[in-house]
Structure 1
């Protein structure tokens, strides 16, 4: 068993090295360091859906100021673009490690989250769907090329991804499958096309419902476009091992001050405008940007055709889950 785990670790390392190299080349990214924690009360940590509790602790050497373990670096990266004087159409890439203790366990969910967090400085004229799609295509090309390289090195793994990714708006998807839930719609469209970028996550659809939750203060999900509301989305692929749609990445053009104000009003969170991060946006003190996260364990799980995320990352699992996986002959790290 130990030898199998070691070989698996080598494959995981190869996937991560290959993909991150390709991603940096295609998106013009510079690798940088990232924090595990940030100070609380500045508005920098990702609030996710607004109900998840971050890990919080006092710092003795800072008079017990509260810090939180990051949920993601969605907002922190934008500040870094300014601090590092990143140029237009240049970006940063960092290996993010986060804790989400309120996450529900499943074969694709763990309380430990690892992802490539990237952010590119852009100008105002690029706040368009076409620019968003350009970056999606580059990311998908990186995934495709990684799959090809993996299949050449490990011949038991056969390429399955389509050469083209399909773009569809959440409203269009609702009209196609009006009687299904949001997740069921994702499964149906992704099984049909193999790889899909689903545009417009966070705004209300014609049904009055959200396709999925998205925080109000990083992605722009409320701007009207030629397709409908939203300058953001999720990259999904069909996972034949799990027989379901499988999210690899969430990304979007970030809010400008108009979108931030509009979205905070819609979510009844206007009090956040007084926070340090939000003030920087309202005062035009940080750059406009596009960015997102790409799940490292998710990508490894997909490309190595694994059944459980515990096969590609070390996390905490209760005894029942460990036993269930062992009964299925699934070896967790």
Structure 2
């Protein structure tokens, strides 16, 4: 448990005014997201059957919250880590066509998360997914989508400034693209997190591309499950976050694996047994649509737009009592 305390921190808004701003940001952003990206709002599950293979394995070491159900004997249920694979299945079941997509309000529990200013055991994000053609599985499709998302976030900054000028943060005018390999070449003696901080501070906002595969130094920049993002066509949107003097990840996204990428990445990750799970069988048999998708952190976006120094200031979760006391002492009131 590590807490960063900003110098002379001022949240600008009272707790009740903050709650009002949170609702405004969430309501307005999801409408803009759906309109600008042609996404329909749909309902999504809080948990899935373990045997379906639909849960996100994240880095492969996090333990999902699991339970049994009296009505379904012999089956274990898992609270979702994310909806990365479930969304693609939903697009298939609901008959979405190329250019059409969905978004949903995703809530998850990540019990092994290390708690700090940016991380909570409770995850709230807009998960979105869109059908594309095989020919659109390109870097340019990815970049165009990132630019569109950046435009929506930038527009939200103006909206928040109009309603809460005393609290609104200022965002950069554009997003810069860089790959993890380019970043390693530029900062070979820094850790992955240090490299992210350096490049985000320089440009204000970057889309860090190609996350998951091993780099020239033999180490992946960061972990990515092998069965949803194509490691050659994915990335994170990072903003330089002045209150904490670090990069703030707002979105992890990418073009999803096709049959070839899935085979290759399962082999690299030593997870070839997943080929026998229902979801993976459908994908390998060409039964699922080609898609692009990602998640946008709801609380993270509120932090960014309101300049808040702790995620607990913009979401209700559980925190150690010592953390609550330390935060309150320095003006960070955890909900």
Which TM-score band applies after superposition, normalised by the shorter structure?
Answer: over 0.9
Give deviations 1:158-216, integer Å, cap 9, x for gaps. Answer: 45211110000110111111111111010000000000000000011111111000000
1:61 aligned to 43, 68, 71, which one?
71
1:29 aligned to 30, 39, 42, which one?
39
The answer to whether residue 174 in structure 2 is matched with residue 164 in structure 1 is yes
Shift of 1:71: 0.2
Shift of 1:157: 3.1
Give deviations 1:225-257, integer Å, cap 9, x for gaps. Answer: xxxxx1000000000111111000000000011
1:125 aligned to 129, 135, 141, which one?
135
Would you say how many aligned residue pairs link Structure 1 and Structure 2? 323
Counterpart CA distance in 2 for 1:318 and 1:177 is 36
TM-score by length of 1: 0.95
Aligned-pair RMSD on alpha carbons? 1.0
TM-score by length of 2: 0.95
Q: 1:158-197, aligned counterparts within 5 Å?
A: 158-197=168-207
Residue 75 of structure 1 aligns to a residue in which SS? Answer: helix
Give deviations 1:127-165, integer Å, cap 9, x for gaps. Answer: 100000011011100000000110011111345211110
Provide the residue aligned with 1:207 in structure 2. Answer: 217
Q: 1:39-188, aligned counterparts within 5 Å?
A: 39-188=49-198
Provide the residue aligned with 1:269 in structure 2. Answer: 271
Counterpart CA distance in 2 for 1:23 and 1:64 is 40
Provide the residue aligned with 2:282 in structure 1. Answer: 280
The answer to whether residue 311 in structure 2 is matched with residue 309 in structure 1 is yes
Whether contact under 8 Å (1:148, 1:159) holds in the other structure is no
Shift of 1:329: 2.1
Q: 1:158 to 1:319 in 2, by over 3 A?
A: closer
Counterpart CA distance in 1 for 2:74 and 2:68 is 5
Q: 1:158 to 1:67 in 2, by over 3 A?
A: closer
Provide the residue aligned with 1:321 in structure 2. Answer: 323
Counterpart CA distance in 1 for 2:50 and 2:215 is 33
Whether contact under 8 Å (2:169, 2:306) holds in the other structure is no
Q: 1:207 to 1:105 in 2, by over 3 A?
A: same
Counterpart CA distance in 2 for 1:278 and 1:63 is 24
Counterpart CA distance in 2 for 1:306 and 1:157 is 9
2:244 aligned to 236, 242, 245, which one?
242
Q: 1:284-303, aligned counterparts within 5 Å?
A: 284-303=286-305
Counterpart CA distance in 2 for 1:175 and 1:306 is 33
Counterpart CA distance in 1 for 2:163 and 2:324 is 30
Shift of 1:64: 4.4
Counterpart CA distance in 2 for 1:156 and 1:308 is 18
Residue 117 of structure 1 aligns to a residue in which SS? Answer: strand
Whether contact under 8 Å (2:57, 2:81) holds in the other structure is yes
Shift of 1:6: 1.9
